[in-house]
């Protein structure tokens, strides 16, 4: 592989603001201007995706920044077509940067005659010529094994820990981290360890997908400031119900930290009308105007951690070092001052 002078970024239409923010952060880290490769990603009249790259990418280390969020099928197809265009243009390596990996919730067969679509999408990406994946907070860690290429899975919890220490610096002894279901305990425990807080669980039972029939709090949340931690907020029904159950169990306040704000359908209005004091999401999915205007929704940036991860991949240094506060705090210097 020819040695390149700089990593090169290209983006589809899924989250252009985040792509530009990553380029700006890389420019700060490198001390040289890092911009997005000049290209067009358009549609024919029948909605076919068309990509044209206007710069030479031969022998370059290319990073495609493209979350496969709503509309998931269109954004996934843009990613695949961009990867094919770069591979056919003799790029040395193509890395897909997926701040949000769509279809991750279909990671196993829960009933007869259902697909494992996360594996299907992984096969499509590998078959298109993508040689590495960089993503954040996969819905299930085992999805990394669906790919026959390296997968770097970043975590939002170190960034959330910085935000919590900044927002709740005078109330740290009142905090309790809450997992909204048994399956998310590992994620919640990781954040609880980072902020040195106890852990509780909201156990839920579903009659069918998207509908919760019963919730039970496992643990004593009396007079606690509860922080619900999860990876995806879709319609927000479960989240808002969990907040009500926690307050009924004696919690003082309820806040939520969610990695990916999918925010489908009535989600934003539910959050605005809910008993939650705040919902914190990342910008892995481009927020809508409704999300930006909601007074109890805050957005934390992921551009600094993605920019550093891309640079680490490009120069062959550790990506897992970004999981440590000592490595992450300088990257977010000026945004959070927990001291």
Residues involved in catalysis: 204
| Cα 144 from Cα 164, distance rounded (Å) | 28
Is the CB of residue 188 less than 8 Å from the CB of residue 178?
yes
- The DSSP string of 291-323 is HHH-TTEEEE--HHHHHHHHHHHHHT--SGGGG
**DSSP single-letter state for residue 226:** E
| Cα 315 from Cα 320, distance rounded (Å) | 14
* Radius of gyration of the chain from its Cα atoms, rounded to whole angstroms: 20
Sign of CA dihedral 260, 156, 294, 12: negative
Query: Residue 83: is it exposed, middle or buried by C-beta count within 10 angstroms (0-12/13-18/19+)?
Result: buried
| Cα 332 from Cα 95, distance rounded (Å) | 24
Q: Are strands 8-11 and 61-65 parallel, antiparallel or unpaired?
A: parallel
**DSSP single-letter state for residue 250:** T
Is the CB of residue 238 less than 8 Å from the CB of residue 180?
yes
Beta bridge partner(s), residue 64: 10, 96
| Cα 294 from Cα 143, distance rounded (Å) | 33
Query: Residue 72: is it exposed, middle or buried by C-beta count within 10 angstroms (0-12/13-18/19+)?
Result: middle
DSSP-derived 3-state class of residue 123: helix
C-alpha distance from residue 310 to each of 2, 27, 126, 139, 261 (Å): 18, 12, 19, 21, 23
Q: How far is CA 153 from the centre of its chain?
A: 10
């Amino acid at each position: 592989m020819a040695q390149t002078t700089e990593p090169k970024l290209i983006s589809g239409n899924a989250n252009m603001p985040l792509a530009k923010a990553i380029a700006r952060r890389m420019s700060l880290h490198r001390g040289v201007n890092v911009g997005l490769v000049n290209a067009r990603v358009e549609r024919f009249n029948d909605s076919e995706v068309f990509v044209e790259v206007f710069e030479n990418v031969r022998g370059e280390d290319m990073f495609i920044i493209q979350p496969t969020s709503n509309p998931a099928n269109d954004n996934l197809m843009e990613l695949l077509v961009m990867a094919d265009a770069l591979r056919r243009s003799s790029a040395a390596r193509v890395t897909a940067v997926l701040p949000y990996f769509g279809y991750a919730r279909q990671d196993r067969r829960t009933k007869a005659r259902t697909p494992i679509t996360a594996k299907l999408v992984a096969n499509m990406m590998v078959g298109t010529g993508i040689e590495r994946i960089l993503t954040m907070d996969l819905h299930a860690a085992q999805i990394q094994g669906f790919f026959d290429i390296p997968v770097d899975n970043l975590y939002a919890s170190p960034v959330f820990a910085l935000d919590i220490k900044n927002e709740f610096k005078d109330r740290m002894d009142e905090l309790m981290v809450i997992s909204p279901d048994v399956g998310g305990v590992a994620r919640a425990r990781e954040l609880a360890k980072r902020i040195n807080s106890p852990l509780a669980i909201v156990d839920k039972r579903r009659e069918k997908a998207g509908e919760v029939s019963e919730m039970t709090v496992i643990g004593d949340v009396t007079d606690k400031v509860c922080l619900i931690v999860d990876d995806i907020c879709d319609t927000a029904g479960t989240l808002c119900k969990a907040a009500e159950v926690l307050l009924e169990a004696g919690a003082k306040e309820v806040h939520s930290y969610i990695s990916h704000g999918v925010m489908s359908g009535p989600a934003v209005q539910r959050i605005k009308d809910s008993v939650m004091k705040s919902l914190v999401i990342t910008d892995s999915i481009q927020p809508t105007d409704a999300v930006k205007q909601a007074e109890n929704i805050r957005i934390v940036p992921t551009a600094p951690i993605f920019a550093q991860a891309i640079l680490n991949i490009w120069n062959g240094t550790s990506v897992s070092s970004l999981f440590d506060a000592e490595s992450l705090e300088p990257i977010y210097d000026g945004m959070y001052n927990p001291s």
